[in-house]
Every structure is written in C-alpha cells, then in structure tokens.
Structure 1
Amino acid sequence: MEANESGFMDPCQVPANDRRFYLIAICGTSFSIVSCLENVIICYALLAKRKHRNSHFLYLALLAFSDGFLSFCYGPVIAMDIIKNYVKLLWLTRVWWYYVGPMLALCHVAMAWSCYLIILATIERYLVTTKAHSLNWVRTNRIKLIICSLIAALISKGTFIFEVELVQNGNCTGLTEFKPTLAAIVHNYFYGTIFKFYIRNLLTVFIPFFLLAYLNARILNILRQQHRSARMFRFAASDHKDKVRSASRTLVLVVFTYLISNVLNVAVTAWEHIDMDSVELQWEFYEWCTDIISVLTVAGCALRLPIYWMCNEEIRLAVESAVRRLPSRIWGAPKQLYNQTQRMTRARKQQHNQIGTEFDTIAVAIACSVMKQHSRLIEFSNAQSRQVSRQNSKQKDADSERRLTIGIDDDDDDDDEEETKAIKLKSGRSLENDSSSAMSALCNDSIGVSLVPTISDYFNGAGPVIVSLTALAGFFTLGTIVLFGAHYIAISKWVTDDERQAALIQLAALFPVTTVLGFIGLCVPRTLTIMKTFVLLFFMRTLFVFAGFVRCLFGGRRKMSQKLLHTSTVISYQSRPCCCCCRCLPSKVQPTERNLALTEWIILQAPVIRFLLIFLALIEISERGGFQRAWVAQASNLLTVVSSLLAMYGCTVLTTVADTYLREYHVAKTFRLLHLNIIVFQLQGGIFELLASFNVIQDDDFLNKQTKTNIYTNVLLSLEMLLISAYVTIAIHPEKNATFDRHPTRPDSNAHLQQPAARSITMSNKRFAYESI
C-alpha cells in the first residue's frame, strides 16, 4: 500500500509487490505443478499393487495423495492472492474470496495429515530398525492409525474455516470491497488461547518437529551401525536386510526434507508466541518469512519423487512400471508391449545386486541444508544493514527539517557542532555509529552503550594509564605472534604426519588468536564484550581440537578403541572433579567406538552451544535492543558455564584414558596448560567484576566500570598468553616430545629417513606402535 499525505496507509489501495509475485506466483507455482504431477504418479504407482497397499508403502502412498492435494491447492489459494492484485480483475477477486475460506482450511488439514503420516511411518520404521515387539501390533492396526491421524488433523486444523470471516472494508469498492477479519469465536479464551494457540501449535508444529528430529537421529545411528556391519560382512547380507535399510534411508531423507522446510515455520510460530508486538512492528519481514514457508512446503513435496528414485529401488521400479503402463490405460496400447515391459522390469530386478549403501546422500543433504542456513544468515545481516541505513537517512532528514523549522542558519551550525559532539560523547548516542548498532549492543548488552566511546573518542580522550596498558598489550601480542611463528616452523619441519601437524598448529594458534582478539577489543572498546565472547568460543573449540589430536595420535578412533580394548582399559566417568561428588557415574565403561564418540561429543557441545547463544543474542538485540528480562541473560551465562565445565570434564576423561599410552607425547601436560588457560581467563574476569561490584573499580566521565574490567581482563590475557606460550616453547620442546619424530635428537629420526614404513619398529618398547595397529 502507498501512504497518503497524512502518512497513513490507504485501506482502499490495492497492494502491489513484485517480490511476492515472483516468489509466490512464479517460483511457488512452478514447484506446486511439479509436485502435483510427481505425487500423482507416486500415489498411482504405490496403490496399484496389493502388496504395496498392505505394507509400509501405504503411508507413502497416502502421503503422496495429501501432498498432491496440497500442491494442487497452492495455485488457487496462495498464488491467486497475489495474481488477483497483479491483474486487477474484479470477477477474479470475488471468486477468490468465495472459495478461499474452505480451501484454505482443507490445505491446513492436508498439511497436518501429511505431518502425522510421516510420524506414523517414522515410528514404524524405527520399530523395524530396533526390532521392537510392538511392531506386529503397529502393522496390524495400520489402517486404524491412519484413520485416527486423519481425524486428529480434521480436529486440529479443520476448525480454521470458522475462524475467518469477510466484512465490508469501509467505503471501499472494487478489488478491496472486502477484507478478512477474525471471527468472534477466536476471541474466546478457551478456543482462541487454549486450543488455537497452545494445543494446535503443540500438536501440529512443535511436538511433530522435535519428535521427528529425535526419531530421525536414532534411525540414523542404527543405520550407521548397520552400514559398518554390511561393510565387514557384505556378502553375507540378505536381500531382505538391504530392502529394510533402503526403506529406512528413504524415510530418513523424507523426514529430513520435512524438518528443513519446517525450521522457519517453527521459528516464526515461536516468535508469534513470544512477542506478538514485534511481529506487528516487523510486518514486512514477517510477511517475507511466511511467503518463504509456503514455498518451502511445496518444494519439500516436490522432492519426494527424487528421494524415492535415488534411495529405494522398489519404489523406483514401481514408478517406472506405472509410467510405462499409463499409456495402455489411457490410449489402449497393445498388451504385448505391456507384457514385454513387465518381463524387462523383472529381469532388471533379478540382475540387480545392491552392494553397500547410499548413505552418502544423507551427508550431501545435510551439507546442502547447512549451506542454505548460512546463506539465509548472510541475507538477514544484509537486510539488517539496509534497515539501519534507512533509519540513519530518516534521522538526518528529520534533523534538517527541524533546523529549517526553528530557523537555524548554516553559520550557527559551526558554533553548535562542538557542543553537540560533547553531548554525544557523554551520552554515547552518536548517530554516526548507528550503522553498527547491533554489534555494539551485543558488545554492551549488560552495560549499555552510553559510556562506551568510539575509536576516535577513545584514543583522543583516554588517559595515560589506558594508553600505557594498550601499548603493553600490543607488545605482548607481538611477542606471542613471534613465538607462534617459531612453533609453526618447528611443527612443519619436525612432524611427519599431516593430521598431527594440523592439530598441533591449531593448538598452537590458541595463543596468538586469543591475544589478537583481546587486543582488538582494547583498540575498539565497543567490541570488548563480543571479543571476550569469541575468545571463550575459541577456547571451547580448542578443547575439541585437543580431543581430535589425541585420536590422531592413536591413528583414529577405531584403532584407539582396538588398543584400549586389547589392553583391557576402561573409561571411568568418575574422573576429577566428579570422582568425589558423583559416585553414580559409571566407572567401568568399555572403550568402544560409540563410547569414545560420546566422550568427544561431550567436548563438542561447548563450542556448538556457545555459537548458538551468540547467534540468539544477535537476534534478540536486533529485535529488542538487548535482553529485556534479566533471567534470560542469567540463564545464558549459566548455560555457558555448565557447557564449559562439561567440555573440560570430557577432556579430563579422555586424557585419563589415553595418558598411559601417550605419556611421551605429553598429552596430559598439554591438556593441563589448556585447562589452566580457560580457568584463569574465567577467574580473572569474575574477580574484576567482583571488584567493580564493591566499587573498587568505579565509573568516571569517560569509561564505565564494566568497560574498565574488560580492559584489565584483556591486558592480563595478552600477558598470560605470552608467558604460557614461552613456557610451552621450553616445556614441550621437540627434544622432549615424541610427536616431533623428525627432530635430529630423536632416536628414530634416522630410521625414519631411511625406512619410513618400519619407523615404529625401531621405537622404544615404551612407545605404542600406532602404525602397526
């Protein structure tokens, strides 16, 4: 709509949006046509034979029917809403208003039924993979479960037809003579709030999403184990087991496409529930999200046939047979041709011998989803920057109009400029820095921006103490970078294995990276908090790199498990500091590959959770300017601490198990240094904050006490990294560490140069021969 002279939207103006036309009417309609044709073929192919109707393919056939109906309704319901405004035909608009209510309700019922069918198929497939006793009951009552799912979809979404009604749009005529509004039943507390908002969203959005994600993860884990068994005993695997794994992979990808297409729907539904006011303020962005959700829904339906074609030969042969049989059904093709096609299909099926699995398609799908999420994040950041730029231009225009209104001349501007700058410096609300308001707000979410100066103001107004501390931090940073250069040369020159080289370089990079991040925070004070967050994130990532380094020293997780099992070594989760207070933890866990991977995941969760918290904080600050509720920030901090402790605990468990065999690699010493870095960094920040709470560190006219504590913390961090880096250079010298196998002082260095393959044979008896496992 276009705004009139008073600044309000004209209710009789026909909305026109080229972006929505190309996204929904062209892109979405194309997906819906392809999806409709594909799902009709799938439904016909799977319902044509009795054996398919009496198997788990019945779920996929009805899912194809529901998806086909949904894709068929997309054009008349969703796309027509944009097309009628684009072509501006009155009769088309009236016809659309006549049928849109019932058809929209049917679309919602179809979406809910498709979701329930996927859940039923996933549950049955999970019972098949786990060989549960209740599988026979589920198979026997398959028809009853499908009927119950349809009734549940009708109850949860069918009432949508009563929730919207058409009313006269004021004095408007023509294309905008009617407008939709909520019916009176929606304003009822029990229906509008309890049923519509809570029960419906839980039953159709949140519970299905997380239930399918959980079941999909469990099936993936079982498939991974079966894949390993099939590789070891490939020729002993029966055709029935191959079909079971193929069906499981097919359903896994179907569920995965459903989850990907509904991630945004879950986020938008949660957004509506948490803060409806911000939805109204960000209506354009909200409308963009809903349009993408509708396109993703039909795109997910269009991906059904490619998934079946790639992963399940039985469905592929059924579809090929149905396509070949279709001309004979329509135009009466000779029966001889049909019989010949049938014989060719059976011969191809008999000749086919599936070896291995197609599990790699799942990894490809996951990689594609990560790339899509990354591109969406970049688009969101660009949109946020454009929005801030528009706000800046509006503010400048408002200032110009105000000056013209009160009669300020250009000569007076020069006189008032210095006073304005001083006020802005003191209040910290300078308009020239609004372009980085989101990041600045994150850096100062707990202290406010009002007392954090910009770069130019910081260096112009900083006292001699701050300048001296910044110069010292720069000197410490430079020394750390020089030491890292020496470490890099030594690792590249004296370590043979490429994986060990990469892991050691990443561990050594901890010192310069954290020091540089801290120095950036000192030079750009508005980024102090975010740099501190990134330092902690890099610490957590380095813990996972350390776990990978230990695994690399053994030659891989499998070889590590074999060696530990061979020597009857067990994993004890009663390691320090949980040995005294958590006696319930297991102490004799077999070091299988699965248990070792679980220990590594305890470490990996720390950087993942930290990254998610940073991302959620950016979203919260972009929408509200900061955490509006104190308990949210406290919960985030508590989750960070618990996650960090769990990661360090996982490293402790792993180090305890591996130290017996890796003593000459100084694994325990490396972990203790890493552990010391994290603890000291956390403790010194807490000590300075405690001093600030007792007003030992006080605010002044230039900096607040929170900024001062971050400055002192970063200066100490640069000093600590320099000292620890120097200590590592001496303590883990190539002469003392077996990782540097090409160093001249190592007893096996000459043997390595002459006979690389037999290098492990000439090692000391105390060393474990990794290459011979």
Structure 2
Amino acid sequence: MTSTMTTRVLEFDSLEAYLFWEENCMIISPGETSFIVIGVIGCSVAGLSVVFNTFLFWLLMKNRKHRSSHLLYLTFLAAFDIFVSIAYILLFPINIYVDYFESVVLANAWYTYMPLTLSISHVMMTASALLIVAAAFERFVTISKIRTQFAKRNRYLISILCLIFAIFPKAPMFFEIEVVKNFNCTGASQWRPNQIDWIESETLQTLYKFWFRNIVITCLPFFLCFYLNIQIIRRLRLQHQGAKLFRFATSEHRQNIRAATLMLVCVTCSYLASNLPNVILYILEMFDMDFLWDPAIRPYYSYVSDLVSLLTVTSCFLRLPIYYACNARIRSEVLEVFDNWLNFFSPQSLHGIKAKRPRPNTTVRYCPTDQGFMIFEKTASRRGDLKPKCYGTGLDKVVLSVALTGMDGALRRASAHARLGDAQEATDMDLLRPVFYDRRQSDQYS
C-alpha cells in the first residue's frame, strides 16, 4: 500500500469505507491527452463550428432564391449543426472540466442539463443525416435526368419529415435517463446518471432500440448515403468523359449543376468519414458489448467514443469551407459580406466618409473558337482577369460549329475566286501592253 493510499485510508473509518468510496465516489482524472483533445481542441472546433454555421444560416436565409433551391437543405443543415456543436461543448468538454478540476458548480450544472441536451443532440444529428440523404437523393435524380419534380417541389415537407423521423426515435432518450443521488458521495461525484428500469425490457430492447433506432435510423442513412454517393460520382465521371470526348465547353447551367453536385459529394464524404467509426461502434455494441467492456479493451473503446464525437463536430465545422470551395455563388456572397464589413470598418467609414465603390466594367466580346462562341466578361476580381462563359446546350454548339465551318469555307472560296480574278486581269493587261506599244510606235513613224 502506497503512502498516498495509506493517507486516503486514514481519512475513513475502515478499509471497507475506503473501498466503497474508491469504487463509487472517487473521480478519475481524464489525463492530459483527453484534456487537450476534448477540452481544448474539441471545444475550439465546436466553438468555430457554431460561428461558421450561424454565419452560414444567416447567409442562406437572407437570400430568397436559396430558399427555393437545393440550398434549402443546407440551410436546415446549418441550423441543426449549430445545436449539435453547442451540445458537444455542453456535454463533452464540460464533463472533462468536471473530472479534471473536480468542480462542484460545473458538476451540478452538467447533471441538470445533461438528459435534455443529450436527447436534443441525438435528434439533431439524426435529422442532419436524413437531410444529407434527401439532398443526395435529389442530386442523384438531377444528374440522372430523371423527370420528376416531387423532390424539388416539396423540399420544405421533406425537411420537416426528416425532423419528425429524427424526433420519434431519439427524443425518448430524455425519459430513459434520470439523475439520482450517488449514495453518500459528496463534491463533484454526488450525482450519477441512471437508466430507467422499463428500458431493459426484452421487447423494447429488440424491436425499438435494436431494429428501429440502431438499424433503421443509424445504419440505414449511412449506407444510403454511401450508395448514392458512389452512383453520383460514377455519373459525374461519365459526363466528364463525354465532355472531353466532344471537346465542348459545358454551359453555365451544367457547370452550376456539377458544382452543386461536387459540393454535396464533399458534404456526404465528410459525413461518411465522421460516422464510419460510429457505425462500427454501434455494430459492436449490438452484438458483443461484453467485449467492449473488457478491461484490456475498455480504454480504446473510450478513446474511439471520444473520437466519434470529435469527428462529428469536425464535419459540422467543415461545412462552410466546403461550400466556399465548391460553390461559386456562396463564395461570391461570402466575399461580398466580408468586403462590406471591411468597408464599414475602414477609416473613411469611421470618419463618416462613404467610400465610393467603382462599378465593375462588364465588357462583352465574342471570340470564335473551336468550342463555339465564347463570351468573355471582365470580372470585378482583384486580378481583373477575363472570365469565360459559354451559353447554350451541346446541340447549340454543334449547330454553331457547323455554321462556322460553312461560313469559313465560303469565305475561303470567295477569297480564292477574288485572287484568281485579279491574276487573270493582270495577265490580260500584260498581253495588251505590246499591242498598245506597237500602235503608238506605228503612229509616230506613219
């Protein structure tokens, strides 16, 4: 028995009291690694995620066009991500701070809001997954050229149904956990979570928690997203190969479709990457929970559980960078907002002088190229480069190419005839010159 343990034993009446305290009341410090990963890095990422998604939600809501487009799903997704990120801060870093600092105030606050926050976070994560599935299905329908308008005309209804389907299986988690007194413990360990007895019934465990909550709500969206993502990527590759084969510049409408599809593919990939460990843990928990509670495996199980929560909030944090990199419309709106903020806080604006913003020069010129007519517009970018745009469908480009080829041939034939006529006229003049000379000469001597 070490000196520290001996000192602890002397604080109790007997060894049995000390062993009881060690088993039920002693707080195990999380360690420096867990404190840095969850308490510092995770809290920082979640805080930035709240800021990014709040800005993104405001940016998408203030434009009416976004509410009637596929970006409506991303608007609701940003709102759900705000709740998920706030719930992560309240559940995981605060719990680490409770164990690390043994704070009674934080412990009382954490056990007060923990059941409600836990259920809300699961509802929002499930709703986010269902929204991503709905958005991926609409992209799959769009890029597959399936003629149906149901997914596009009922985006609000689909979003509400996603939230309802998330509430039904996940909201009852609030009633499954109760906070009770932890025996005679005091301080930061005076409370403990307890699972309600009726949850342990065999019927509820099999039908509701196993089949409905774990299989249908957790695993099925993951594999649906995986399948739709593979199909979307495959069709994108086929379309790209077709465009390279005919060497046609894609129209602006098709470029927007491909950009939106690429953006959704990146969002779906981030969701799949962050939820892959979660699905693996769910499968192990369903079939072999005793293996995870083995003393040799339990530390790794705890680390992976912390990693799952960190990856989830990281995927929420990456939404805005993905949208900025893949969607030109969102990128231009973000830059415009920051430009307005910089102008607002500029020295001229602080002194009451409004800075005159020059109007961008939009000169349009038509350049005949081997890809049809390319329209160049002078953009308002800092580099001032020319941005090519191509309008019309692939059939329009074929017609223009044939017409331009015919015009080019006609012009060449006209030019050849003109040169041939000039040469013939010059030849006739050369033949007439000796006759005129002879006649003038004969007139002089006659």
TM-score w.r.t. length of structure 2: 0.73
Structure-2 change in CA distance of 1:229 and 1:170 (3 Å): same
2:210 aligns to what?
Answer: 197
**Of residues 58, 62, 70 in structure 2, which corresponds to 1:56?**
70
8 Å CA contact retained: 2:84, 2:121: yes
Q: Distance in 2 between matches of 1:101 and 1:279?
A: 24
SS of the residue corresponding to residue 223 of structure 1 reads: helix
8 Å CA contact retained: 1:242, 1:354: no
2:116 aligns to what?
Answer: 102
Q: Residue deviations 1:337-366, cap 9 Å, x none?
A: 5966999997459953479xxxxxxxxxxx
Q: Distance in 2 between matches of 1:207 and 1:32?
A: 26
Q: Distance in 1 between matches of 2:360 and 2:56?
A: 18
How far has the Cα of 1:82 moved from its partner?
A: 0.6
8 Å CA contact retained: 2:60, 2:67: yes
Asked if residue 166 in structure 1 is aligned to residue 201 in structure 2, the reply is no
8 Å CA contact retained: 2:76, 2:159: no
The structure whose residues are more often strand, as a share, is 2
SS of the residue corresponding to residue 24 of structure 2 reads: coil
Q: Residue deviations 1:696-748, cap 9 Å, x none?
A: xxxxxxxxxxxxxxxxxxxxxxxxxxxxxxxxxxxxxxxxxxxxxxxxxxxxx
The aligned amino acid for 1:133 is: R
**Of residues 62, 79, 82 in structure 2, which corresponds to 1:68?**
82
How far has the Cα of 1:210 moved from its partner?
A: 0.7
8 Å CA contact retained: 2:30, 2:99: no
8 Å CA contact retained: 2:182, 2:191: yes
Matches within 5 A, 1:53-452: 53-134=67-148, 136-281=149-294, 282-325=297-340, 347-348=380-381, 351-353=386-388
Q: Distance in 1 between matches of 2:203 and 2:322?
A: 42
8 Å CA contact retained: 1:309, 1:315: yes
The aligned amino acid for 2:331 is: R
2:45 aligns to what?
Answer: 31
Q: Percent identity?
A: 33
Q: Which runs of 5+ in 1 are unaligned?
A: 356-773
Structure-2 change in CA distance of 1:201 and 1:329 (3 Å): farther
2:408 aligns to what?
Answer: none
SS of the residue corresponding to residue 178 of structure 2 reads: strand
Q: Distance in 2 between matches of 1:119 and 1:167?
A: 39
- Higher relative contact order (Cα pairs below 8 Å, separated by 6+ residues): 2
Q: Distance in 1 between matches of 2:359 and 2:127?
A: 36
Structure-2 change in CA distance of 1:167 and 1:230 (3 Å): same
Q: Distance in 1 between matches of 2:360 and 2:84?
A: 32
The aligned amino acid for 1:255 is: T
Matches within 5 A, 1:504-653: none
Q: Residue deviations 1:472-503, cap 9 Å, x none?
A: xxxxxxxxxxxxxxxxxxxxxxxxxxxxxxxx
SS of the residue corresponding to residue 10 of structure 1 reads: helix
Q: Distance in 2 between matches of 1:350 and 1:240?
A: 22
TM-score w.r.t. length of structure 1: 0.43
Q: Which runs of 5+ in 2 are unaligned?
A: 10-14, 363-377, 391-446
Structure-2 change in CA distance of 1:320 and 1:341 (3 Å): farther
Structure-2 change in CA distance of 1:335 and 1:65 (3 Å): farther
Q: Distance in 1 between matches of 2:216 and 2:358?
A: 49
Q: Distance in 2 between matches of 1:106 and 1:337?
A: 46
The aligned amino acid for 1:70 is: V
Q: Which moved more, 1:247-256 or 1:318-327?
A: 318-327
Q: Residue deviations 1:599-629, cap 9 Å, x none?
A: xxxxxxxxxxxxxxxxxxxxxxxxxxxxxxx
Q: Which moved more, 1:124-133 or 1:6-15?
A: 6-15
8 Å CA contact retained: 2:97, 2:103: no
The aligned amino acid for 1:163 is: E
How far has the Cα of 1:288 moved from its partner?
A: 1.1
Structure-2 change in CA distance of 1:98 and 1:330 (3 Å): farther
Matches within 5 A, 1:584-733: none
Which structure would you say has the larger Rg?
2
Q: Which moved more, 1:323-332 or 1:46-55?
A: 323-332
Q: Distance in 1 between matches of 2:361 and 2:196?
A: 60
SS of the residue corresponding to residue 55 of structure 1 reads: coil
Structure-2 change in CA distance of 1:237 and 1:79 (3 Å): same
1:376 aligns to what?
Answer: none
Q: Residue deviations 1:171-222, cap 9 Å, x none?
A: 2111111111111231233333311222011233210111111000000001
Q: Distance in 2 between matches of 1:26 and 1:145?
A: 37
8 Å CA contact retained: 1:165, 1:182: yes
Structure-2 change in CA distance of 1:195 and 1:206 (3 Å): same
2:366 aligns to what?
Answer: none
SS of the residue corresponding to residue 107 of structure 1 reads: helix
Q: Distance in 2 between matches of 1:37 and 1:78?
A: 19
How far has the Cα of 1:278 moved from its partner?
A: 0.9
How far has the Cα of 1:329 moved from its partner?
A: 9.2
Q: Distance in 2 between matches of 1:52 and 1:72?
A: 25
Q: Distance in 2 between matches of 1:73 and 1:267?
A: 23
8 Å CA contact retained: 2:251, 2:389: no
8 Å CA contact retained: 1:24, 1:295: yes
How far has the Cα of 1:95 moved from its partner?
A: 1.2
8 Å CA contact retained: 1:324, 1:341: no
